[in-house]
Amino acid sequence: IIRFERFSLTRLTYKDKQMANRYFSQFKGSLEKGVVQLDGYINLGSDASVVSETIMGASVAKTTTGVYTITLEDSYPKLLHVGLTAFSIGTNAAGLLKVVDVLDSSGNSVAATLVNVKKIKVATCTSATGAPADVSVKCGMSVHIVLKNTSV
């Protein structure tokens, strides 16, 4: 007697995986799976305040002297890259831009592992010392953030 038993394979859905809950463009030439790119521009006023920002999927706020926090609308499993480019109008603008810290949704630093990323702190710094400093003229920074949207 031959017996057949029924079985089923359990398939993971997006809710079972740790990933952002967004619709992204699906096709991009990349060897890495689930790559998401967020690009935008941050305009700073002469008082170093955030005048405007155009990063879709994120918001920007000034937190301390020369330091700005980019808060992502979703947490991402892995941060792959942050690119910052300064554009100035006049003198005494940002001489140097750098990433200061990377935080998870609880506010804990994940700079060593770059996993479960929710916030990225960037700073405008003086060229001489590299210390965070406020800008004294209107300027802007272009931001390019590359994240992984899957844990596989």
Q: Average pLDDT for residues 39-50, to the nearest whole number?
A: 92
Q: How confident is the model at residue 33 (pLDDT cuts 50, 70, 90)?
A: confident
Q: Check residue 71 and give its pLDDT.
A: 96
Q: How confident is the model at residue 60 (pLDDT cuts 50, 70, 90)?
A: very high
Q: DSSP string of the chain?
A: -------------TTTS-------------SSTTEEEEEEEEEE-TTS-EEEE--TTEEEEEEETTEEEEEEEEEEEEEEEEEEEEEESSSSS-SEEEEEEEE-TTS-B-TTT-EEEEEEEEEEE-TTT--B---SS-EEEEEEEEEE----
Residues of the chain with pLDDT > 70, as a percent, come to 74
